[in-house]
Chain A
Amino acid sequence: MTTDTTPYSGPRMPAGGTPPGGPNPPAEPDPEAGAVAGESLTRDAWRRLKQNRAAMVSLILLIVIATVCVLGPLVLPWGLAEVDWNAFTAPPSLEGGHFLGTDANGRDLLTRTLYGGRVSLSVALVASFVSLVIGVLYGAISGYVGGRLDNLMMRFVDIMYSLPFMFLVILLMVVFGRNIFLIYAAIGAVEWLDMARIVRGQTLSLKRREFVEAAHALGVKDSKIVTRHLIPNAIGPVIVYVTLTVPKVILLESFLSFLGLGVQEPLTSWGVLISEGTDTMQGAPWMLLVPSIFLAVTLFCLNFLGDGLRDALDPKTR
């Protein structure tokens, strides 16, 4: 065990930083001291993530894709539903101004893909985030408290599982009318169930560990035990599951749109574009390839980023 200082620098102690007063006059703090307790795991994780080249490239690519999807349509000369009467099913070319070609209705494919990206990415982001937050809290509380409450909470999850998803979506549509936020809500309402079960399982095994018992003996509040001890230690499987959720959500959305329950023409999404593209695959492959490449790159990046995050959040990986 060496005693070198830590390579990252957090907030350092001020010079001669003996705080005035205090019930027990503290010893002179070590001037070599690095970070103080607090958010050091996240800062440490960020340092480790930066060393992971695949994860960093993925992160940058994801940011680029998201930025292009948000800003691109503002710059491009074509509108979402704007028909170019001179170019139906035109292949990609620089001259005609349709860099990635047009679809069967003469609409610019790049423009439509970027609009579609807005929908797909935001659904993925919101639905995954909702499922993450609800699922982790629900699962951790259920597993930690245990007993009758655990039974009740898990039976509720079982009931939610047994509700047909389509029925739920149609019901929401009937009650609230067609709205893209309903898709977010519907998908989020279903995806958290798996997450809750995973986190509950992790919590059940973690809460028997001695460090949780030690926290009890210190008098740490139950809410703090859940947030400081249980959830951080369950984070590995959670992140892996989130990276699996995102593609699932994107595909679920295109499925809903395909049934006429999701986004409606002229608005589109990657899933819708891909399913349209498969119809014309033989005559006009670019209509399939362009949205597929966008989707595939995004999913690849998410997987690499997820792996990187899982490793970065585990202090055992150096």
Chain B
Amino acid sequence: MADKLLEIDNLSVDFQLPTGSVSAVKGVSFDIRPGETLALVGESGSGKSVSSTAAMRLLPELATTSGAIRFKGEDLLQATPRRMRRIRGNAISMIFQEPMTSLNPLHRIGAQIAEVLARHKGTKGRAARGKVIELLEQVGIPEPARRIDSYPYELSGGQRQRVMIAMALACEPELLIADEPTTALDVTVQAQILALLKDLQARYGMAILFITHDLSVVRHFADRVCVMRRGELLESGETAEVFANPCHDYTRMLIDADPHGHKEPVADDVPVLLEARDVRVRFPIKKRLFRDSEYFEAVRGIDLTLRRGQTVGVVGESGSGKSTLGRALLRLLDSQGDIRFDETDLARLDTGGMRPLRAKMQVVFQDPYGSLSPRMTVGEVISEGLRVHHPEFNRHQREAQVIEALKEVALDPAMRNRYPHEFSGGQRQRIAIARALVLKPQFLLLDEPTSALDRSVQVTVIDLLRDLQRRHDLTYLFISHDLSVVRALADTVLVMKEGRVVERGPTEAIFADPQEAYTRELMRAAFIDAAA
């Protein structure tokens, strides 16, 4: 067996909170050999990020750590802060999930990379600039000599993540800790970044500790896998072995967590509920006083027909205009074109005229943390719509409706006096669904309702949505970048790119035989497994 580069031995991390001690990691042991890729997989709260942050000694002061973290035989937990600063960024470096926030917006990217070089290698001036350009070229930034003087806002999310990787590679580390480096990126970009990491690993011979919640990402990327849950290491082993023969139920569930099932298309003679013709949405970029303003067209002429009981999935990468389209259909944004809901022309209605229809068309948003007001109890959140649409209800009637709605989404009605922050992401999403359902809508706009959730929670929310659709004959417009979810839930799919529909058709047909090049590219990136 080769020498161990990093050895984590019986690591425990406890957080001392005012309410008591919470143990985030409970006696975890694993090791990484030079040049290999180890994936640490787990859902939120599993302690995977805490373990790696502990290795860098970057945990907050509240945390108490026990056990040992040995890097080439040296126990990092005993190292002085001065020694740790020499190791960080030099022998061990890290990349993070959020490319949008992990670069300082006030400095040019070249200067930020050069800072690492100056700190650890003492490289400055012209030599540093040459090295930075070389690094940018290696991570695949086009025109590195020009891009070196860009500010972070001038780069896309994928490019920023490449800059972060360049920064991490600046000192040719022996270990790279990648904490969910692709989670915030579009699928096609995600595939490119993974390929880049693999390529750089071969060139530099570094080891990678890859932290992710998505087991399918690691399948062709990691040599070995550790599965964590609730601070404990459930299972570890060679990747192929773990995938072929998982010993733990939880691992089996994670491997199998892609949502199942499909939806039968509705018949063609079912009445149309919502019909949109040539919908266009544009946002002013530059306002001018006396001349015409400049506009950005987010949605460029889209036709859409939704029949009762149908689920139309809208697929696209970020910036494709899919969320904008959804908001325009609900008249949350001003748009041009013709939108008819249940034989009513929405364009002719003012705010007051729109109000009665609002009860029939509801929405569930992506962010389970941002979509519930933190200062209202769950009961208040759910009953708010009732106050608008059923002012005749007294308090007891509202209460009864709230209880009924909470039961619909399989939450305990006794929880309605609690505040949103006391609930997990999946529970909050159920609350958001209950808020929409309490008005007995016919049409639900689902804007990435499962994207912020763990895979295992996703599956239950999807089951819930499917069940509710069956019971209440609901019509869904399901917006998502996640193809596997759309495949399970939608009967018709619209693929969007840059504000236009690239391809549309029955789900099965699109997934089995995509016609357009863009659709094929999306599929290939999303289903790496199937391609390999």
Interface residues, chain A, with chain B CB atoms under 8 Å away: 1, 3, 5-6, 13, 17-19, 22-24, 26-30, 32-38, 40-41, 209-211, 213-221, 228-229, 232-233, 235, 313-316, 318
A29→B418 CA distance, assembly (Å): 17
On chain B, the residues within 8 Å of A19 by CB distance are 394, 396-397, 400
Pick from A35, A41, A217: contact of B362, CB under 8 Å: A217
Residue-wise interface mask of B (371-403) relative to A, using a CB-CB cutoff of 8 A (1 in contact, 0 not):
111111101100111001110011111111111
A209→B367 CA distance, assembly (Å): 9
A197→B396 CA distance, assembly (Å): 40
Pick from A6, A219, A233, A313: contact of B417, CB under 8 Å: A6
On chain B, the residues within 8 Å of A30 by CB distance are 403, 413-414
A249→B367 CA distance, assembly (Å): 42
A19→B397 CA distance, assembly (Å): 7
8 further A-B contacts with Cβ under 8 Å, apart from A30-B403, A33-B403, are A1-B423, A30-B414, A217-B361, A217-B362, A218-B358, A220-B385, A316-B374, A318-B19
A7 to chain B, nearest CB (A): 10
A26→B362 CA distance, assembly (Å): 21
Determine whether the beta carbon of B399 is less than 8 Å from that of A13: yes
Task: Give the nearest-CB partner of A208 in chain B.
Answer: B370
B62 to chain A, nearest CB (A): 17
Pick from B356, B396, B432: contact of A26, CB under 8 Å: B396
Determine whether the beta carbon of B370 is less than 8 Å from that of A209: yes
Task: Give the nearest-CB partner of B370 in chain A.
Answer: A210
Any A CB within 8 A of the CB of B421: yes
Determine whether the beta carbon of A211 is less than 8 Å from that of B396: no
Any A CB within 8 A of the CB of B210: no
Query: Please, could you name 7 A-B residue pairs with CB atoms under 8 Å apart, sorted by A?
Result: A3-B415, A19-B400, A26-B399, A36-B395, A213-B371, A218-B439, A233-B373
If A3-B414, A214-B435 touch, whether A33 touches B399 (CB-CB below 8 Å) is: yes
On chain B, the residues within 8 Å of A6 by CB distance are 417-418
Determine whether the beta carbon of B377 is less than 8 Å from that of A214: no
A13→B397 CA distance, assembly (Å): 11
Q: Which of A3, A33, A35 has the most CB of B within 10 A?
A: A33
Determine whether the beta carbon of B363 is less than 8 Å from that of A214: yes
Pick from A33, A219, A233: contact of B375, CB under 8 Å: A233
On chain A, the residues within 8 Å of B354 by CB distance are 219
On chain A, the residues within 8 Å of B456 by CB distance are none
A35→B415 CA distance, assembly (Å): 11
Determine whether the beta carbon of A210 is less than 8 Å from that of B371: yes
Interface residues, chain B, with chain A CB atoms under 8 Å away: 19, 327, 330, 332, 354-356, 358-359, 361-363, 365-367, 370-377, 379-380, 383-385, 388-390, 393-404, 407, 412-419, 421-424, 427, 432, 435, 439
If A219-B358, A233-B373, A313-B375 touch, whether A210 touches B394 (CB-CB below 8 Å) is: no
A230→B398 CA distance, assembly (Å): 23
If A1-B423, A13-B399, A219-B385 touch, whether A27 touches B404 (CB-CB below 8 Å) is: yes
Task: Give the nearest-CB partner of B411 in chain A.
Answer: A1
B433 to chain A, nearest CB (A): 11
Pick from B384, B396, B427, B432: contact of A215, CB under 8 Å: B384
If A218-B439, A219-B385, A315-B421 touch, whether A38 touches B371 (CB-CB below 8 Å) is: no
Q: Which 9 A-B pairs have the closest CB atoms?
A: A26-B400, A219-B358, A315-B419, A210-B371, A37-B380, A218-B385, A219-B355, A210-B365, A232-B375
Task: Give the nearest-CB partner of A231 in chain B.
Answer: B375
B398 to chain A, nearest CB (A): 7
A228→B393 CA distance, assembly (Å): 19
Determine whether the beta carbon of A40 is less than 8 Å from that of B380: yes
Pick from B384, B402, B417: contact of A218, CB under 8 Å: B384
Determine whether the beta carbon of B399 is less than 8 Å from that of A36: yes
On chain B, the residues within 8 Å of A13 by CB distance are 396, 399
A37→B399 CA distance, assembly (Å): 8
Determine whether the beta carbon of B412 is less than 8 Å from that of A3: yes
A28→B377 CA distance, assembly (Å): 21
Pick from B330, B376, B418: contact of A41, CB under 8 Å: B376
On chain B, the residues within 8 Å of A28 by CB distance are 400
Determine whether the beta carbon of A232 is less than 8 Å from that of B400: no
Determine whether the beta carbon of A17 is less than 8 Å from that of B396: yes
Determine whether the beta carbon of B379 is less than 8 Å from that of A37: yes
Task: Give the nearest-CB partner of A233 in chain B.
Answer: B375
Determine whether the beta carbon of B393 is less than 8 Å from that of A22: yes
A283→B278 CA distance, assembly (Å): 87
A150→B402 CA distance, assembly (Å): 37
Task: Give the nearest-CB partner of A222 in chain B.
Answer: B351
Determine whether the beta carbon of B417 is less than 8 Å from that of A34: yes
Determine whether the beta carbon of B417 is less than 8 Å from that of A40: yes
Determine whether the beta carbon of B370 is less than 8 Å from that of A24: no
Task: Give the nearest-CB partner of A33 in chain B.
Answer: B399
A26→B423 CA distance, assembly (Å): 26
A173 to chain B, nearest CB (A): 42
A219 to chain B, nearest CB (A): 3
On chain A, the residues within 8 Å of B412 by CB distance are 1, 3
A146 to chain B, nearest CB (A): 12
B100 to chain A, nearest CB (A): 16
On chain B, the residues within 8 Å of A40 by CB distance are 377, 379-380, 417
Pick from A3, A27, A217: contact of B358, CB under 8 Å: A217
A277 to chain B, nearest CB (A): 42
A210→B393 CA distance, assembly (Å): 27
Determine whether the beta carbon of A316 is less than 8 Å from that of B419: yes
Determine whether the beta carbon of A214 is less than 8 Å from that of B358: no
A34→B416 CA distance, assembly (Å): 9
A134 to chain B, nearest CB (A): 22
Determine whether the beta carbon of A36 is less than 8 Å from that of B379: yes
Task: Give the nearest-CB partner of B393 in chain A.
Answer: A22
Determine whether the beta carbon of B401 is less than 8 Å from that of A26: yes
Determine whether the beta carbon of A216 is less than 8 Å from that of B332: yes
Determine whether the beta carbon of B403 is less than 8 Å from that of A29: yes
B226 to chain A, nearest CB (A): 28
A315→B379 CA distance, assembly (Å): 14
Task: Give the nearest-CB partner of A229 in chain B.
Answer: B373
Determine whether the beta carbon of B422 is less than 8 Å from that of A1: yes
A201→B407 CA distance, assembly (Å): 39
On chain B, the residues within 8 Å of A22 by CB distance are 393, 397
On chain A, the residues within 8 Å of B421 by CB distance are 315-316
A33→B398 CA distance, assembly (Å): 13
On chain A, the residues within 8 Å of B361 by CB distance are 217
A213→B373 CA distance, assembly (Å): 11
Determine whether the beta carbon of B414 is less than 8 Å from that of A38: no
On chain B, the residues within 8 Å of A315 by CB distance are 374-375, 419, 421
On chain B, the residues within 8 Å of A313 by CB distance are 375
Determine whether the beta carbon of B367 is less than 8 Å from that of A217: no
On chain B, the residues within 8 Å of A210 by CB distance are 365-367, 370-371
On chain A, the residues within 8 Å of B373 by CB distance are 211, 228-229, 232-233
A317→B85 CA distance, assembly (Å): 35
On chain A, the residues within 8 Å of B398 by CB distance are 36-37
On chain A, the residues within 8 Å of B385 by CB distance are 218-220
Q: Which of A17, A219, A220 has the most CB of B within 10 A?
A: A219
Determine whether the beta carbon of B404 is less than 8 Å from that of A26: yes
A220→B374 CA distance, assembly (Å): 17
